[in-house]
Chain A
Amino acid sequence: MNREIAVVAFAQTEHRRTSEELSEVEMLMPVLHEVLARTGLKTADIGFTCSGSSDYLAGRAFSFTLALDGVGAWPPISESHVEMDGAWALYEAWTKLLTGDADTALVYSYGKSSPGPLRDVLTRQLDPYYVAPLWPDSVALAALQAQALIDAGDTDEPALAAVAARSRADATANSHAQLRGSVPRGEYVVRPLRTGDCPPIGDGAAAVVLAAGERARELCERPAWIRGIDHRIEAHGLGVRDLTDSPSTRLAAEKAGAFQRPVDTVELHAPFTSQEVVLRKALKLDDSVRVNPSGGALAANPVMAAGLIRIGEAAARIHRGESDRALAHATSGPCLQQNLVAVLEGDPR
């Protein structure tokens, strides 16, 4: 049961405002080919394939079955899909490898937000009885959380602007980022959040290869071993929660072993500046830790892929020898409703 499982390769698209000239599978395929090329594997060599996406984003029913064309899923392969961010697809693949049923897994996710009104589309994930009929958009809900943080003295607008500025400055080194460099704070979208506090809306895809034990060492010079991974969820009602905290993130981190030893790098999936404040508090991060060297979701937030990208970015730093122990976080739902934490480590150098 105690199989060691690692992220051995990661690839992502250049995230853009629109990819209208490509279908979903056409956008995804180069990423699949790139991640496989990094390991020398072919699609036929993969033991298990798991994907994450949502048909609501582009309004295309069963788009995930069309995307499966890109992995050569006919005749049928062993595969699964979650209507969630790819980080949760990775979780499923990790459990599959733990069972010993497969030694390698391909995990991918994609989102095309450009065809639809994303802020409205995301209201469809809310409580259908009491909340969704009011159409509170994703920025409005994040803004309620931001105001609660300001009222609690946890942050203020200049501090939020600093999170945005740091993220987009770091993103200048990330060729995949959609928004980088100096980005104006902008007008209020929903006060207290300004355009600069919000993630860019765009299209993108990402893919990861997982491998178990010796197979991982064959496929990657320095595998990013998954030392722990866990996901937890908050109560359903927004008004039941303390929006200034994220007990689910803290618990997931605890279960993933994040607090056993310090990490040197953290990739947080915080689409809004204020959510980084919540996550830093929940994970007890101080300024000694490098947070979101990739620029994070404020630099590129392809919905359904941005969480998997956090794990991929953290793993890639371990592959490159830039990190020895990293924490990756993914979120889903309004106001950090559901949270996943993975702890990754490289072999000692």
Chain B
Amino acid sequence: MPEVLKAPLTVEFPFTRSLGPVQSAFLTGLRERVVLGVRTGDGRTLVPPVEYDPVTAEEIRGLVEVAATGTVTTWAWNPAPRRDQPLDTPFAWVLVRLDGADTALLHALDAPGPDAVHTGMRVRLRWAEERTGAITDIACFEPYDGEQGELTGHTGEFEDPVTGIVAPARLDYTYSPGRAQTAYINALAEQRNVGERCPSCRKVYVPPRGACPTCGLATSEQVEVGPHGTVTTFCIVNIKAKNLDIEVPYVYAHIALDGAGLALHGRIGGIPYDQVRMGLRVEPVWTEGARYPDHYRPTGEPDADYDTYRELL
């Protein structure tokens, strides 16, 4: 079996999320060093507060301040913090019921070790130095043996409430393309286009994905196609893509390589963009050291007859 191809793949998004009125008040409160809960119809105080009663689904809007001190309701010692977690030294995950609240909030507890943590222990909230209106405005909790924290008397009305959060998320993967695509990519590196044939309907897929979507069968017979092909359809790109050093306008086309049962896509060069047409015969242009064709250019052959590629649009 050939060596498995692998490449790092990072998926990263800054998710921008709008807030409901209760979420907005809670997160704005954190920015202002005030902890707010919300009252349910039956008189319980939920912290962190939500927009709808989790039991009755009733819309709840009554804000009430709670203390920045509380009691651990359960905990778990994390000996090896992971990226983006609240603390980068070993800490306890805790659910904390703040004084005045009936439900618990998830966060980190900065403690010297697991022996210093137990359910029922008293803790106090430690504010982050820089606060923006996010759950991370709470840096963490810390052990505390003093009195219940005092309330500021805040009403939950703010002059400049936060209306949204930006939550960055990044996940790092190792991508491996699988058997069929590995073979395809390896052949491309040798400047060959190799597809795979369905054992049932005999269609040749380029690039191959390992399965025939019509028959639901594994493709395995490798078939070299091209190098020449026919433009089956195309579009003219007028907007420059970020980080792409290609002058606009240019043509991006579906190209049916000779012998292939479906078209792949690629850029057309070596011809003015407004002279590209359906049926144009093209060949790949390889650049030194590249693992795939840079673009396709006209071969000079007569245009292909429409009937030869009508099923490959």
A residues with a Cβ closer than 8 A to B are: 20-26, 29, 32, 43, 56, 58-60, 66, 68-75, 115-117, 119-121, 124, 128-137, 140-141, 143-148, 151, 188, 190-193, 235-240, 243
Contact = CB atoms under 8 A, between A and B. Distances in A.
Given A22-B179, A69-B216, A190-B79, 18 more contacts: A21-B179, A23-B181, A59-B9, A59-B171, A68-B213, A69-B210, A115-B174, A116-B174, A128-B15, A136-B85, A144-B95, A188-B79, A190-B93, A192-B76, A236-B50, A238-B106, A239-B48, A239-B106
Contact of A71 (B50, B74, B216): B216
A115 B74 contact: no
B74 to A, nearest CB: 4
B169 interface: yes
27 contacts: A20-B4, A20-B176, A21-B178, A23-B210, A26-B178, A29-B218, A59-B9, A66-B209, A69-B209, A69-B210, A70-B211, A72-B212, A73-B213, A115-B174, A117-B172, A128-B17, A129-B17, A129-B23, A133-B135, A140-B93, A148-B74, A188-B77, A190-B79, A191-B79, A237-B48, A237-B54, A239-B95
Interface in B178-192: 178-182
Interface in B53-75: 54-55, 73-75
A190 B106 CA distance: 15
A56 B167 CA distance: 17
A129 B135 contact: yes
Contact of B48 (A58, A72, A130): A130
Contact of B86 (A22, A134, A193): A134
A129 B27 contact: yes
B155 interface: no
A203 to B, nearest CB: 11
Contacts, number: 188
A147 B1 contact: no
Given A59-B171, A128-B167, A43 B74 contact: no
A133 B171 contact: no
B302 to A, nearest CB: 32
A143 to B, nearest CB: 3
Nearest to A121: B171
A129 B50 CA distance: 10
A190 B117 CA distance: 14
B275 interface: no
Interface of B: 1, 4, 6, 9, 11, 15, 17, 19, 23, 27, 46-48, 50, 54-55, 73-79, 82-86, 93-95, 97, 103-108, 114, 119, 134-136, 165, 167, 169, 171-182, 209-218
A21 B174 CA distance: 12
A238 B199 CA distance: 52
B105 A239 contact: yes
Residue from B105, B167, B178, B215 with most neighbouring chain A CB atoms (10 Å): B178
A257 B63 CA distance: 42
Given A21-B4, A129-B23, A135 B54 contact: no
B17 to A, nearest CB: 6
